[in-house]
Each structure stands twice: as structure tokens, then as C-alpha cells.
């Protein structure tokens, strides 16, 4: 079955690459989208139903990946207004980055995460790096609910550690 998936993927590769370029408008983004799609197709080969349209299945996977990535980018550009109405505002232009501040915050995060128990640390880092909960559960061979719980408690613990560190600095 898997060998058949590779063969079918090779057959439709030119049209998938063209579709990814049409979606992204950028050669490098199109290559990334194609690679993500090919990976997802191969890793989910067992979910493909024989005697169905492989190309339609692959295009649907690519479109869904593109949409999810787009939504992530939009969310990153959205900030929460702390007024009583809690309106969501688009930040508009790019922010001014302060590498020194960002490096310090990242180093502090690394230090705090390093003291978490391994059962919480691995799922948290995977979520931090962009993996979806179901991907983390599959990779760590653990139930989805367990993964969600571990990430939730890791975040709570890190939040508490950060608040304590902030009080010490103040």
C-alpha cells in the first residue's frame, strides 16, 4: 500500500507543486507546503481509501495545511486589547523586535522548562514547536486526553514559575 502511495504521489507531484505555488504565491513557501503535504500523505497512507480519487485526497490535504498555516499567521498578528470589552485588534504592521529582550525571555523559558518532569516537558516542547495535539499523542504513543492534560499542566506550572520569577525581580 505504502509503495503504491509513493507511486501515486510521484504521478501527481507536478500538479501538486503547481497548486502549492498558486496558493502561496512564493516559490519557497510553495516548496514548504508541498513538503508538508507529502509528509502528511505518506504518514497517513493507511487512511487513504483504495478506489477513490488520490489526487482529490492529496489536494484536500494541501488545502487544509495551507488554511491552518494561514490561520496561525493571522493569530500571531492579533493582539488582545486589555480594555473592559476585550476586543481583538489586528496589530497592523510588524512590531519592533528587541533581540536582547527576546533572547533573555527565551533563555528564561528554557531554564524553566528544563526543570519540568520529562512527561510534561516533551509534549510541551512539541506543542511549542507547532505540533498538533493528535500528532504529539501519536509520536509519544499516549492518549490524546493525556497529552492535552500534560500540556495544560506544563503551561500552568510555567506560568506560576514565571510569576514567581517576576516577583523576585520586582
SS3 129: coil
Q: Are residues 126 and 69 in the same domain?
A: no
Give first-to-last CA distance, the chain, whole Å.
61
Q: Supply the mean pLDDT for the chain.
A: 82
Model pTM score: 0.46
Specify the higher pLDDT residue, 108 or 85: 108
SS3 133: helix
- Side-chain-side CA neighbours of 119 within 13 Å: the count stands at 8
Q: What is the CATH number of the domain that holds 36?
A: 1.10.1740.10
Lowest mean pLDDT among 33-42, 92-101, 153-162: 92-101
Q: Answer yes or no: is 23 within a domain.
A: yes
| Share of residues in the chain with pLDDT > 70 (%) | 80
What is the residue range of 135's domain? 99-165
Residue 89: φ, ψ to 5°: -120, 140
pLDDT reported for residue 102 = 56
pLDDT reported for residue 111 = 85
CB 62 within 8 A of CB 33: yes
pLDDT tens-digit series, residues 48-93: 888 889 999 999 999 999 998 888 887 776 555 555 554 555 555 5
Q: Are residues 8 and 66 in the same domain?
A: yes
Confidence band, pLDDT 50/70/90 cuts, at residue 100: low
How many structural domains compose the chain? 2
Angstrom distance (rounded) from CA 25 to CA 27: 7
Q: Are residues 6 and 71 in the same domain?
A: yes
pLDDT tens-digit series, residues 5-42: 888 999 999 999 999 999 988 898 899 999 999 999 99
Amino acid at each position: 500500500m505504502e509503495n503504491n502511495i509513493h507511486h501515486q504521489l510521484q504521478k501527481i507531484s507536478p500538479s501538486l507543486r503547481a497548486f502549492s505555488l498558486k496558493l502561496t504565491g512564493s516559490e519557497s513557501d510553495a516548496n514548504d507546503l508541498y513538503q508538508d503535504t507529502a509528509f502528511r500523505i505518506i504518514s497517513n497512507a493507511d487512511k487513504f481509501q483504495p478506489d477513490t480519487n488520490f489526487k482529490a485526497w492529496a489536494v484536500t490535504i494541501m488545502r487544509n495545511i495551507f488554511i491552518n498555516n494561514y490561520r496561525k499567521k493571522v493569530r500571531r498578528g492579533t493582539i488582545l486589547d486589555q480594555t473592559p470589552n476585550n476586543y481583538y485588534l489586528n496589530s497592523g504592521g510588524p512590531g519592533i523586535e528587541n533581540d536582547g529582550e527576546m533572547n533573555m525571555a527565551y533563555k528564561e523559558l528554557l531554564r524553566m522548562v528544563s526543570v519540568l518532569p520529562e512527561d510534561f516537558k516533551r509534549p510541551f516542547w512539541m506543542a511549542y514547536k507547532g505540533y498538533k495535539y493528535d500528532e504529539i499523542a501519536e509520536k509519544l504513543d499516549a492518549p490524546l486526553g493525556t497529552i492535552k492534560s500534560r500540556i495544560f499542566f506544563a503551561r500552568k506550572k510555567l506560568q506560576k514559575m514565571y510569576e514567581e520569577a517576576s516577583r523576585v525581580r520586582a
